Amino acid sequence: MWNGESLVFHGTSFTGVFDGNAHTISHLTITGSTYLGLFGQLASGAEVKNLGVVDVNVVGSGDCVGGLLALNWLGTVTHCYSTGAVSGSGSVGAVVGSNGEFASPGGVLTNCYSIGVVSGESEVGGLVGTNACPEETTCSAHVTNCFWDIDISGLPNMCGSQHNLATGCNDSFGRTTAEMQTARTFLTATGTTFDRSGVIRGGGWDFVGETKNGTEDIWAICEGLTQLPQFEGKILNSASRTKKVFTTTGSFSAQR
């Protein structure tokens, strides 16, 4: 819980770049007290991208608990998602427990989503538990173009709390389960985003079959099959070996 005091992270902060390369990690189970997640803490300049954690079960008795990351000190999380269940005491989020805090300027969370149950005693968010930074420093804690399922999480709020100069917690980005299964939700996101070279592009997510939001074809979705956005190449019709991708204007198929 963000209360003007800093918890002490006793592990080793991640300092590098972890590129999931469109892979997923399934059935991750973690039980403990504080700073729980696949990553305990991202240090300054650290980056996690292109990674999904599926059917996680993270159970904490303390603060800073997330499905992917416990505390984002000054790192970047891009193109990631989390499904499953996350619980803790304070600063609990489906993707990130705390995006910055009293002693941390915070990091950046961009183009991520979550589907799952999140529970705790205080500062509980469908995506991020706490989005915060110290009053006396330049703040970099920011969330852009991220979504969460309000039906499954039962939470109408993206973040459990937002403090000081931290920005980006926008409850209007919450979507129903049905809306999370449509490309339009992600294609029409309104925030400014950047490609991997740091070039400003359209606000929507980069899907196969469109170029307005980029040409890297990061995401794909099979509408009508109760599927969520997945990384391009992961969606495959096993019977026809045909990958189907959908946009707001229709669909097309590409043989693999």
CATH number, residue 140:
2.160.20.110
Residues 87, 164: one domain? yes
pLDDT at 112: 97
Residues 5, 38: one domain? yes
pLDDT at 7: 57
Per the structure, the complete domain to which residue 103 belongs is given by: 1-177
Residues 167, 191: one domain? no
Residues 137, 199: one domain? no
Domain count, the chain: 2
User: Which of 137, 155, 177 delimits the end of a domain?
Assistant: 177
Q: Is the pLDDT of residue 246 over 80?
A: no
Residues 32, 141: one domain? yes
Give the closest residue to 88 by CA, choosing from 64, 116, 52, 114: 64
Q: Is the pLDDT of residue 118 over 70?
A: yes
**Average pLDDT of span 88-111:** 88
**Average pLDDT of span 89-100:** 95
User: Which of 132, 158, 177 delimits the end of a domain?
Assistant: 177
**Cα angle value 133/127/190 (rounded, 5°):** 85
Q: Which pTM value belongs to this model?
A: 0.85
Residues 50, 165: one domain? yes
Residues 129, 23: one domain? yes
**Average pLDDT of span 109-130:** 97
Give the chain's mean pLDDT: 84
Q: DSSP letters along 29-80, please? A: EEEESSSBSSEEEE-TT-EEEEEEEEEEEEEESSS-EESSEEEESS-EEEEE
Tens-place pLDDT, residues 50-75: 999 999 999 999 999 999 999 998 89
Residues 26, 95: one domain? yes
**Residue 191 — very low, low, confident or very high, per pLDDT cuts 50/70/90?**
low
Residues 112, 169: one domain? yes
Residues 149, 186: one domain? no
